[in-house]
Amino acid sequence: AQSVAQPEDQVNVAEGNPLTVKCTYSVSGNPYLFWYVQYPNRGLQFLLKYITGDNLVKGSYGFEAEFNKSQTSFHLKKPSALVSDSALYFCAVRDGSNYQLIWGAGTKLIIKP
Amino acid sequence: DGGITQSPKYLFRKEGQNVTLSCEQNLNHDAMYWYRQDPGQGLRLIYYSQIVNDFQKGDIAEGYSVSREKKESFPLTVTSAQKNPTAFYLCASSARADHNQPQHFGDGTRLSIL
């Protein structure tokens, strides 16, 4: 069965420091991986995706994610955090046999000035 | 601006009442989705539609119904059979129901029980 785990409910980072939001997944075939961000009382916004190719994927707002097949991980990263990055982040995965996205529970990212 | 519009932003349901949440997109997308979001949980799929006049049940379809009579519209009805409807409902669309297509989201409808 497909599954996604975001092991941290909350991540706290000081402004200007690098940030990492973790995601691990389990699928039976090749994974299609996505990161989304949600601000309070808003819908989700697409940040980036991994389909195939280069393991380091660059996305919106300076975010990037590294696909690691052996560790079945797709961690979201940013070299220098901004207070405005504070939000809820969701990882999602689907495999090649299913159109349905499977969502992680979300990680609340708090960037302190 | 192209996007997805959900209305109303807030909705209150009385016992035994059916309510309908609106979702309209002008992105010319084929696929549309309804999700339910509860605190501390990921999104759970209620229904999805890959094309006009076709839709499929998701993981938690019981107590909900949808229609897809037009490409741009995918309304969700929360029926009285849904005993715990209080949640944040999100509508999304994608160009196609392909594996690599990102989904675009509306700003949600928050449903509460009176």
B100:A32 CB<8 A? yes
Structure tokens at A84: 């405005």
Question: Strand, helix or coil at A84?
Answer: helix
**A99 and chain B in contact, CB less than 8 A:** yes
Match 């979702």 to its residue by tokens: B23
Burial of B73 (0-12, 13-18, 19+ CB in 10 A): middle
Give the pLDDT band (50/70/90) at residue B99: low
Is the per-residue pLDDT at A22 higher than 90?
yes
Q: Torsion over CA of A81, A67, A5 and A76, rounded to 10 degrees?
A: 10
Q: How far apart are CA B114 and CA B112, in angstroms?
A: 7
Give the pLDDT band (50/70/90) at residue B87: very high
Is the per-residue pLDDT at B98 higher than 90?
no
Average of pLDDT values for A95-99?
A: 72
| Residue in A49, A47, A53 with CA at minimum distance from that of residue A109 | A47
B99:A43 CB<8 A? no
Across the interface, of B42, B99, B107, the residue whose CB is closest to A43 is B107
Kindly list the distances between the CA atom of residue B10 and the CA atoms of A56, B21, B38, B71, in Å, as whole numbers in the listed order: 40, 10, 15, 25
Give the pLDDT band (50/70/90) at residue A30: confident
3-state helix, strand, coil in chain B (%, to 5): 0, 50, 50
Is the per-residue pLDDT at A98 higher than 90?
no
Match 């035994």 to its residue by tokens: B16
Task: Label residues B12-33 b or e (16+ Cβ within 10 Å = b).
Answer: ebeeeeebebbbbbeeebbbbb
Kindly list the residues from chain A whose CB atom is less than 8 angstroms away from the CB atom of residue B93.
Answer: none
- pLDDT, residue B100, reads 79
- pLDDT, residue A73, reads 97
Average of pLDDT values for B62-79?
A: 97
Give the pLDDT band (50/70/90) at residue A50: very high
CA distance A71 to chain B (A): 22
- pLDDT, residue A6, reads 97
Q: How far apart are CA A16 and CA A42, in angstroms?
A: 26
